[in-house]
Amino acid sequence: MASFDRMVMHPNTGTAEVHRACPMCGKKQMLVCSTEQAQDLRDYCDNKHKKLIQDILPENMFTPTEREMIQTGLCDECYDKVCSGF
């Protein structure tokens, strides 16, 4: 389920940090986005799906891992494990 642990807004720079620990290994992950994107993400995680995740975090700005972090919370390594069936 789409979620995050913590969001830190930096209105002075217009950026936000989104933190989430991997549910499998506990690795701490973070992505930096604009405060606007952070608001959209918050709505997204509250199931107020105004936008698709790929519209909030566009491919040209974010990696699939960063999107995965919001959607499943899995880090790169655990995502690979899950996809390869361990």
Binding residues for Zn ion, rule: CB under 5 A, are: 22, 24-25, 27, 75, 78
Nearer to Zn ion, 16 or 78 (CB): 78
Q: Is the CB of residue 54 less than 8 Å from the CB of residue 30? A: no
Nearest CB to Zn ion, comparing residues 27 and 42: 27
10 beta partners: 15
Torsion of Cα atoms, 73 then 49 then 40 then 57, to 10°: 60
Beta strands in 1-86 (DSSP E): 6-10, 15-21, 28-34
In the complex, least distance from residue 20 CB atom to Zn ion, rounded to whole angstroms:
11
Q: Find where tokens 């891992």 sit.
A: 65
Least gap, CB of 4 to Zn ion (angstroms): 15
Nearest distance, CB of residue 69 and Zn ion, angstroms: 10
9 vs 25, beta carbon nearer Zn ion: 25
